[in-house]
Structure 1
Amino acid sequence: MIQTLRLRAKSRTHIFKQAAKMEYLKFLIPALLASAASEMINYKDCPNGDNGHATAVRISPCPSQPCSFNHGQTVNVEIDFTPRNDSDTLESKVYGILAGIPVSYPLPNADACKDSAITCPISKGQVLTYKSSFDVLQSYPKINVVVMWQLNAGKSNQACFTFPMAIV
């Protein structure tokens, strides 16, 4: 009888501990998912009035601006935009603006029709979200720079924006 009561007490204690763990996970998992989600950033349209416009830009990790990235880190980018014309192609181009001069940064996945969430051909007026990621390589210098990101369909620019970032 005493052993049965002890087993029941241990069983209740075990149940309470499990319930406490479950309660903890109920708050931890959404917090982790939220921190993994891309953050909306402030950005500027490219200065040339001929450029298309992004409607929203999300970068992760970028909890505050300027976005700071560490060597070895993977950066995720999402760009919402509406194409200005129909096209069978879409290419992503990235530049670092150094002393006012755009210096090309070659993306390993520049063909947005193959390597993002976009299926080509694209249609004028269709709301699209471009998704990509890149690694901050050890060979990159520690630098503060303004980044210019373009989505081009042939010679027509579909979206262009700039934002400040730092490699630390």
Structure 2
Amino acid sequence: MSFQPPAAICLFVLIIASVLGEFGTPIKVRNCPGESPKASLAAVYIENCSQEPCIFRKGQNVTMEMDLEFCKLTIIIIPTLLTQLYINFEKDHFNFKAEGVQSLRAKLYALVLGVPVLWDGINPEACQDIISEGPRCPLSAGDYITYGVNLYVNPIYPTVTADVKYMLLDENKRTQICWIVKASVK
């Protein structure tokens, strides 16, 4: 006598396996030189890509997801007198206010011979593409979100391997996130 799992369990396992095949392992991305992101990037997932170069097929969408924490708070304390050797961190003594993010704009570039070329094919209104439950724009300090984007690879793009630079900018054009990954357009 052999055990036959119910069809629902088999379907569930098949769905999980297909999702893990697309987004099973985060890809290691590089920080953008000269940029000082305000948010923390926890992970980047690119459909069917776990190592560089990612393959972007002409005429198809590439799905990307990013896990982000917004508004890192950096505290710099400069003592006014050399005799102040200790600081009391009681709640009432300090009032730190982290600036929130009202809106986000997505920008994507192909770096061809070091020159950034704007890559059309993504929704620039990034707040519309927050896919996690919970916070939406405006975002506050400590908000953790998953942002998803579908990148259309236009068939007229040349067959090339290049660095792809992804940026999220706030309403004041401050860099919230910036990363680079190598991709091959085929």
**2:127 matched to which residue of 1?**
113
For residue 70 of structure 1, report the CA deviation from its aligned partner.
1.5
Q: How does 1:1-168 map to 2 (within 5 A)?
A: 19=4, 25=10, 28-37=14-23, 39-52=25-38, 53-84=40-71, 85-117=99-131, 119-154=136-171, 155-168=173-186
- Which shows bigger deviation, 44-53 or 134-143? 44-53
For residue 34 of structure 1, report the CA deviation from its aligned partner.
2.1
Distance 1:20 1:137 in 2: 43
For residue 38 of structure 1, report the CA deviation from its aligned partner.
5.3
Distance 2:49 2:100 in 1: 32
Q: What is the number of residues matched between the two proteins?
A: 153
Contact 1:81 / 1:158 at 8 angstroms: preserved in 2?
A: no
Q: What per-residue deviation string (whole Å, max 9, x for no partner) do you get for residues 60-99 of structure 1? A: 0214321012222221111122223412111111111111
Distance change (3 Å), C-alpha of 1:105 and 1:38: farther
Aligned-pair Cα RMSD in Å = 2.8
Identify unmatched segments of 5+ residues in structure 2: 72-98
Distance 1:106 1:112 in 2: 14
Contact 2:54 / 2:183 at 8 angstroms: preserved in 1?
A: yes
Distance 2:157 2:29 in 1: 23
Distance 1:49 1:29 in 2: 39
Q: State, as a whole percentage, how many aligned pairs show the same letter.
A: 28
**TM-score, scaled to structure 2:** 0.70
Tell me which structure has the larger Cα radius of gyration.
Answer: 1
Partner SS for 1:109: coil
**TM-score, scaled to structure 1:** 0.77
Identify unmatched segments of 5+ residues in structure 1: 1-11
Higher strand fraction (1 or 2) = 1
